[in-house]
Structure 1
Amino acid sequence: MRTRRLLHLDLVRSEKAGVHLTTFVVSAVSTILVTRAYLALTGYPQIGGDSGLHIAHVLPGGLLMAAGLVIGFAYIGRGPRPVAALLGGVGFGLFIDEVGKFVTADNDYFFEPAAAIMYIIFVCLVVGANVWRRRRPLTDEEKVANAAHVLVDGLAGRLPANRRREVLRTLESLGDARGARQLHDLLTTLEPRTSPLPQRLELLWHRIAEAFTRLAASRFAAAVVGALLVLQAVGAVLVVVVLWRANGSSAPVMAGTATGTVISLALAAMAWWRWRIGDRRGAVEWLQRSALASLLITQVFQFAASQFAAVVGLFVDLLLLGVVGGGLRAHDTGRASGDQVRSP
């Protein structure tokens, strides 16, 4: 008990952590792709030329990550966080892009497993954060604390109208939770303003999530999920077979890809069975496990065989996870309102 008290940090979780994490990951991955494309098109130039100096892009990456941290330290409210997530993501992308140099004795930027290493890092970051968040929803106290954080923007005259409406609905749903009514009264007296640029990043991810939720609640949801699952499974097998016939892919790559595909299809079959017995939410959860199996197993081995094919597979998996996540949100919203909601 004494050790637990020493390690207890009393950290309040942010309800926007998923949004900021998405900004961080997307900006990091985009930076890696843009950087590699630019270097390939320009013949891999070196900053410093023939002067004997070589300024690796890991250095500006570190500076951008530091800038993101400084913004988080120097400013209060929610406004700086999207900017910090964006700068930190770009900086981390520049940093992790040179992972091949860090793990090889000859500083090999073109180390083939580097793409798989980067991929595993991003997948573990996203999946770990989602699992951590799903294990325990935000408490009422944490929701009130998040609303108080929004109040900072309102007092500074930087609170957009849509964000104020969202927070007011949250506070009304908390009833007599300590501080909820007082915060509600304060927020209603504040004049909303046009969304500043940083908070438009949050709005963008909200609209994407809402689009997935609408798709999951539509009559096309089952067809979309089925098509994505079939495309993913068949595509993974075909890519490995073609590469094996062309240049002889290794047996571990083929075995890993086949194993991930079989597991993913088995989990999808379990989802179909849960759907047949009437467990709609259970079916969606099993579909989510199927997509994660493809993401964590199949695509890792795909990266070792063909980075391009793995990027396509990653895109399909992310679409599938988006539709399935929208299905979970649609189902939970339907239960809360007492309506029947169609899920994939």
Structure 2
Amino acid sequence: MSDPTRVLRLVRSTKAVQHLTTFVVAGVSTILLTRLYLALTGYPQIGGDTGLHVAHVLPGGLLMLVAMGLQFSYVGPGPRPLAALLGGVGFGLFIDEVGKFVTSDNDYFFAPSAAIMYVVFTGFVVGAHFWRRRVPLSDAERVANAAHVLVDGLAGRLSARRRAEVLHSLDGLARPGDVQGAAQVRGLLEDVQTRPPSLPHRVEELWHRVGEFFTRLSSSRYALPVMGVLLLAQTAWALVVLVGLVLSRAPHGVAVVGVLVGTGASVVFTATGLWQARRRGRRAAVESFQRSVLTSLLLTQVFLFAVSQFAATAGLVVDLALLGLVNADLARMRRADR
């Protein structure tokens, strides 16, 4: 199957996964904070007793419009971190009211709404990671991304860390002499003056620090057994919730089967990883752990959300932390293999 970005002649961004992650984290946080605020304030209506009700899907749409306006109005990568943040908040406000759009009585409290939101966000993140891993960036795309960053440098808005990051990316070109403009872009990047990071770039700096934190954790000698223990604890938590559900005799037969299948598969992948740690090495073990985390994200937590939003939210936080740790460890090992 051909890559659609090649068919459409699109150049992929080296920061795509980072910006998409910002978007998702902002969206999920907005949903949780919105629901908490509404619960604490007794679900007030904007508009009072005037007969009007300004649903929060409207400010959500406005924020998404602002995010698109930033992208349309400015050149270079500068506005992207802020656009990802504002767009994520706007999308969170929008999809939080999905229950009103899929029910005939506009039911905001429609029970499956949480599962719908969960599937959208997790599919977004996991799809982005698989998309990037399936087709790595070409040398030409890396040079094009460096030229894009150069726009900020020529305008006097490039931070020293970002320049160093881009130059390191150019160092990894397989055949730099064969890529048109590679030497010229490098020369200009080395010549431009750097500045302290601007407000939009501080969002990007935050994710850089988060990535460094996970990388440090993954390099610890205890990282592998801790991953295994956390994965097993995660499945045990899901089973505890499941037992409580069965004892309550609530009518959630499909959800029970889904959680059972998901936790069973996660246990198999985790046990396989622990076994492979001695037989085939760390990389094989971590790859198996990654399958366990993704199974929990895409299967177990989806069905858990349908019956216990609190339990699934706790599981989601743990799964995202584990996914960050596992991906950081795999990325570290790939860099070591180069």
Is 1:249–1:305's contact at 8 Å kept on the other side of the alignment?
no
The 2-side partners of 1:223 and 1:274 are apart by 12
| Aligned-pair CA distance for 1:223 | 2.5
Q: What amino acid does structure 2 have at the position aligned with 1:259?
A: V
Q: What is aligned with 2:189?
A: 187
Q: What is aligned with 2:130?
A: 131
RMSD of aligned C-alpha atoms?
1.8
Q: What is aligned with 1:340?
A: none
| 1:71 corresponds to 2:70 | yes
| Aligned-pair CA distance for 1:212 | 1.0
Stretch of structure 1 that moved more, 98-107 or 61-70: 61-70
| 1:303 corresponds to 2:329 | no
Q: What amino acid does structure 1 have at the position aligned with 2:258?
A: G
| Aligned-pair CA distance for 1:246 | 3.4
The change in CA–CA distance for 1:199 and 1:48 in structure 2 (over 3 A counts) is same
Q: What is aligned with 2:270?
A: 268
Q: What amino acid does structure 1 have at the position aligned with 2:269?
A: L
The 2-side partners of 1:312 and 1:75 are apart by 39
Is 2:259–2:303's contact at 8 Å kept on the other side of the alignment?
yes
The 1-side partners of 2:334 and 2:168 are apart by 17
Is 2:290–2:323's contact at 8 Å kept on the other side of the alignment?
yes
The change in CA–CA distance for 1:327 and 1:125 in structure 2 (over 3 A counts) is same
Can you give the 5+ residue segments of structure 2 that lack an aligned partner in the other structure? none
The 2-side partners of 1:67 and 1:4 are apart by 30
Q: What is aligned with 1:54?
A: 53
Q: Secondary structure at the match of 2:248?
A: helix
| 1:206 corresponds to 2:208 | yes
Q: What amino acid does structure 2 have at the position aligned with 1:58?
A: V
Is 2:262–2:299's contact at 8 Å kept on the other side of the alignment?
yes
The 2-side partners of 1:4 and 1:278 are apart by 32
Q: What is aligned with 1:157?
A: 156
Q: Secondary structure at the match of 1:195?
A: coil
Is 2:228–2:270's contact at 8 Å kept on the other side of the alignment?
no
| 1:231 corresponds to 2:233 | yes
The 2-side partners of 1:238 and 1:173 are apart by 48
Can you give the 5+ residue segments of structure 1 that lack an aligned partner in the other structure? 337-344
Q: What is aligned with 2:257?
A: 255
Cα deviations by residue, 1:240-291 (Å, 9 ceiling, x for unpaired):
1123323535222222111100011111223233323224322211110111
Q: What is aligned with 2:113?
A: 114
Identity of aligned residues (%): 59
Q: What is aligned with 2:217?
A: 215
| Aligned-pair CA distance for 1:301 | 1.1
Is 1:172–1:184's contact at 8 Å kept on the other side of the alignment?
no
Q: What is aligned with 1:246?
A: 248
Cα deviations by residue, 1:195-240 (Å, 9 ceiling, x for unpaired):
0011111111111112111111111102210221121111000011
Stretch of structure 1 that moved more, 99-108 or 222-231: 222-231
Cα deviations by residue, 1:34-81 (Å, 9 ceiling, x for unpaired):
111111111111111111111111111111111111110010011100
Stretch of structure 1 that moved more, 128-137 or 166-175: 166-175
| Aligned-pair CA distance for 1:4 | 10
Which consecutive aligned stretches of 4+ in structure 1 deviate over 6 angstroms post-superposition?
Answer: none
Cα deviations by residue, 1:6-47 (Å, 9 ceiling, x for unpaired):
x92100000000111111001111111111111111111111
Is 2:60–2:90's contact at 8 Å kept on the other side of the alignment?
yes
Is 1:171–1:181's contact at 8 Å kept on the other side of the alignment?
no
| 1:104 corresponds to 2:117 | no
Cα deviations by residue, 1:154-193 (Å, 9 ceiling, x for unpaired):
0100000111111122223323232111111111111100
Q: What amino acid does structure 1 have at the position aligned with 2:206?
A: L
Q: Secondary structure at the match of 2:32?
A: helix
| 1:293 corresponds to 2:285 | no
Q: What is aligned with 1:11?
A: 10
Q: What amino acid does structure 2 have at the position aligned with 1:241?
A: V
Q: How many residues align?
A: 334
